[in-house]
Amino acid sequence: MSDLLNEYLMIKVNDSIRTNPDWELLLRQARGAGVLSRLAFFWKKFRLFSPPQHFAHHLESAETYWLSQKRIVNWELYNLSQVFKLLNIRLILLKGTAYSASGLNAGLGRVFSDIDILVPKHQLKEVKDALKWYGWFPEPMDNYDQRYYERWMHELPPLRHIKRGTSLDIHHNILPQTCSLYPDAELLLKASINIADTDYWVLAPEDMVLHSASHLFWGGEFENGLRDLSDIDLLLREFSGNDPSFWQNLHNRAKVLGLGKPLFYALRYATKLLDTPIPDSVILASAIYAGRSKNRVMDYLFLQALKPYHSSCVNSLTGFARWLLFLRSHWLKMPLYILLPHLFRKAWLRLAGNTEKT
């Protein structure tokens, strides 16, 4: 039963889902993976399946929630655009915010917790200072975490609006500065494109895919892993359908930015899990980035980690696989002289917190 959600995310009808218990299980899996509102659009926009009435009610509710969030995000983007106009800086949107604002299929039913934007590194202070006048302030953070963000990370500490409570993440790159795959942010900024008839900008299509791939396969957090893989699936389907040269451009861009390895994983698991229609030649071309990867081991880890967060989709080793990938993400993003003290401090703080509670 654990493959019910994956079958629907393939964007095709699954005739095997007929009984009420099956539909109820699909509902719980979709909620666990954060894609229930996306299923609503697979139903309404693409007409890919016909749910029973009780399931349709849940989809309607999920769509209503998404539309409410979309109104909130649109208002926040309008307010941000006024600030960026004054600063004469492009308001470049990332991830779910970008998908939604640009009208991509990946934005349909895409629920997210914060607004992500990209700003040139040398203008971070200017942007941060200006946003304070409009109610955006850093969330409380100790001195160590503050220095950690400023020195090593690819983003500022999260900002929260003092009245509206919305969260804003300001990035200056798409991967941390300590990561060996740290791309040239200037290339991302120069290739950004304007959303027609708006004051908003987004990454180029190829860069959007590479960012999503890097975030998922180098980030180490898989609570929304299947949702993020679904993002990649929908982006690949739409961009390749709109532009015959997309696949070659994507391969070339991955080489320029040094992000071939995340692309390899994105194409591999989008194909394996969601049956994304990727030409064999593209899969073969991406294999050069696999290097000495033990694909059988990585397949086991990622195929476990990308399951929905629901008891029907996991086994005794799923949590262990996610933990190993979490450690891997830190190993990939930090040299040992930073990683070991960082992990030791986090472990000590967790232990101290638990001790205080007992």
Separation between Cα atoms, residue 242 and residue 136, nearest integer Å? 38
Separation between Cα atoms, residue 1 and residue 323, nearest integer Å? 24
Q: Is the pLDDT of residue 346 over 70?
A: no
Residue 358 has a pLDDT of: 32
Averaged confidence pLDDT in the chain = 85
Contacts of 78 (CB under 8 A, 6+ apart): none
Q: Which residues pair with 130 in a beta bridge?
A: none
The pLDDT tens digits of the residues spanning 177-221 come to: 888 888 999 999 999 999 999 999 999 999 999 999 999 999 888
The pLDDT tens digits of the residues spanning 4-35 come to: 455 555 434 344 455 677 788 888 888 888 88
The pLDDT tens digits of the residues spanning 86-104 come to: 999 999 999 999 999 999 9
The average pLDDT across 335-339 equals 64
Residue 14 has a pLDDT of: 47
DSSP secondary structure code for residue 317 in this structure: T
The average pLDDT across 152-161 equals 83
Residue 74 has a pLDDT of: 93
Cα angle 246-207-169, degrees, rounded to a multiple of 5: 150
Within the chain, strands assigned E span 91-94, 115-118, 136-138, 159-161, 167-171, 193-194, 200-202
**Contact call for residues 235 and 208 (beta carbons, < 8 A):** yes
Give 179-229 as a DSSP string. Answer: STT---HHHHHHH-EEPTTSSEEE--HHHHHHHHHHHHHHH---TTHHHHH
* Tokens found for residue 18: 């007929």
Kindly provide the b/e burial profile for residues 223-258, where b requires at least 16 CB atoms within 10 angstroms of the residue's own CB.
ebbbbbbbbbbbbbbebbeeeeebbeebbebbeebb
Cα angle 116-119-120, degrees, rounded to a multiple of 5: 155
Domains of the chain, residue spans = 4-357
Strand order in the sheet with 159-161: 136-138, 159-161, 167-171, 115-118, 91-94, 200-202, 193-194
Separation between Cα atoms, residue 353 and residue 358, nearest integer Å? 9
Q: Which long-range contacts (CB under 8 A, 24 or more apart) does 93-100 make?
A: 93/117, 93/118, 93/200, 93/201, 93/202, 94/118, 94/171, 94/174, 94/202, 94/203, 94/211, 95/211, 95/212, 95/215, 96/231, 97/73, 98/202, 98/203, 98/208, 99/231, 99/235, 100/70, 100/73
Confidence grade of residue 51 (pLDDT, cut at 50, 70, 90):
confident
Contacts of 232 (CB under 8 A, 6+ apart): 209, 212, 213, 216, 266, 270, 276
The pLDDT tens digits of the residues spanning 249-270 come to: 999 999 999 999 999 999 999 9
